Amino acid sequence: MDAWLEVLGAGGPVMVQDGGRVGLMHHGVPPGGALVPEWLAAANRSVGNVWRAAALECYGRLELRLHGRDAWVSVDGRAFRVEAGGQFSVPAPEAGVVRYAAVEGGLDVPEVLGGRGTLPVARLGGVEGRALKRGDVLPLGTGGGSREEPGPALPLEAEVRVVLGPDLGRFGADAVEVLLESAFTVSPTSDRVGMRLRGPGLPQADEGSGLSGPMVRGALQVPASGEVIVLGPDHPTTGGYPVLAVVIRADWGRLAARRPGAAVRFRAVSVDEAREIWRQHAPVYGAAPESVTR
């Protein structure tokens, strides 16, 4: 390898993430990918990478050294030049739960099942399927793309839009009303598999008699306790808990970026509205809506 990053120290979990793995859920492989895809896209586009290139998802402070060549580096879309041999820091997240650092050319770690991102639940991707540690070496790909300014900031206090269903019949008559009229907060027990929300319990109409079915990112699963669990990028591909609603794709990031204790309120939209919102939102990735794949 002619250029690489060296990890000098990590003050919290840090892993390689990218745009996710496509079309493998029928094999039991979650899509994975960035927790906040808009922030991954901003970091990558500002150094000339395609939006889904492998970068660093940082939950704490990180110290790095660049070897082999000069390169553009970006933290949350703010780009700066680093000389070969130069050391730089990624500060701990402030506005959200995570931040992204990208390097011109992307992280050229091995591709596994169509992606380079770390999937901790399966211990694959990234560097040995684990969080990074001091001494790790990350090879860099070839850069040279046009650098672009990041898009608008994510509205982390805005309502999160959902499409109701598909299991409305498995809930009590007032479950939708409770969901849409109540305030929830992000639980500190949340992770990349699912965000747990503290708030009023959602009443169910059955006793867990539903069959296990396929799951998607953004599904609001509700176990017998009535707690809301919003599935994240590393979600199980099937599940038996009923789903009251699904977060629309354009709002994945604005929800997932919130820190523990942050407020969450939901608003229902139709499928057609969700499609139109996505059409308007997709340009933050620098691509047409149909080309921004899972």
Per-residue pLDDT tens digits for 199-244: 999 988 775 566 788 999 999 999 999 999 999 999 999 998 999 9
Domain ranges, ordered by start, for the chain = 4-139, 160-291
Q: Enumerate residues 6+ apart whose C-beta is below 8 A from 7.
A: 14, 62, 63, 64, 132, 133, 134, 135, 136, 137, 138
d(CA 160, CA 186) in angstroms, rounded, equals 13
Please say if the pLDDT value at position 74 is more than 50: yes
Distances (CA, A) of 168 to 140, 224, 246: 48, 15, 12
At 209 the pLDDT is 60
pLDDT at 144: 79
Instruction: With a cut of 90, say whether residue 294 has pLDDT above it.
Output: no
What are the structure tokens assigned to 73, written together?
């580096």
Task: Tell me the average pLDDT of the chain.
Answer: 94
Average pLDDT over residues 44-71: 97
Instruction: Specify the CATH number for 160-291; select among 3.90.1150.10, 3.20.20.100, 2.40.100.10, 3.40.50.740.
Output: 2.40.100.10
* Beta-carbon-side half-sphere exposure of residue 108 (alpha carbons within 13 Å): 12
- Residue 1: the pLDDT is 77
Is the whole-model pTM more than 0.75? Answer: yes
Average pLDDT over residues 61-82: 96
Residue 289 confidence (pLDDT): 61
pLDDT in tens, 152-210: 899 999 999 999 999 999 999 899 999 999 999 999 999 999 999 999 999 887 755 66
Residue 236 CB partners (closer than 8 Å, separation 6+): 30, 193, 215
Give pLDDT, residue 207.
59
Segment among 33-47, 71-85, 132-146, 204-218 with least mean pLDDT: 204-218
Which 3-state string (H, E, C) describes the chain? Answer: CCCEEEEEEECCCEEEECCCCCCCHHHCCCCCCCCCHHHHHHHHHCCCCCCCCCEEEECCCEEEEEECCCEEEEECCEEEEECCCCEEEECCCCCCCCEEEEECCCECCCCECCECCCECCCCECCECCECCCCCCEEEECCCCCCCCCCCCCCCCCCCEEEEECCCHHHECCCHHHHHHHCCEEECCCCCCCEEEEECCCCCECCCCCCCCEECCCCEEECCCCCCEEEECCCCCCEECCCEEEEECHHHHHHHHCCCCCCEECEEECCHHHHHHHHHHHHHHHCCCHHHCCC
Please tell me the distance from the alpha carbon of residue 204 to that of residue 283, in angstroms, as a whole number: 39
Task: Name the band, by pLDDT with cuts 50, 70 and 90, for residue 50.
Answer: very high
* Distance in angstroms (rounded) separating the CA atoms of residues 189 and 208: 23
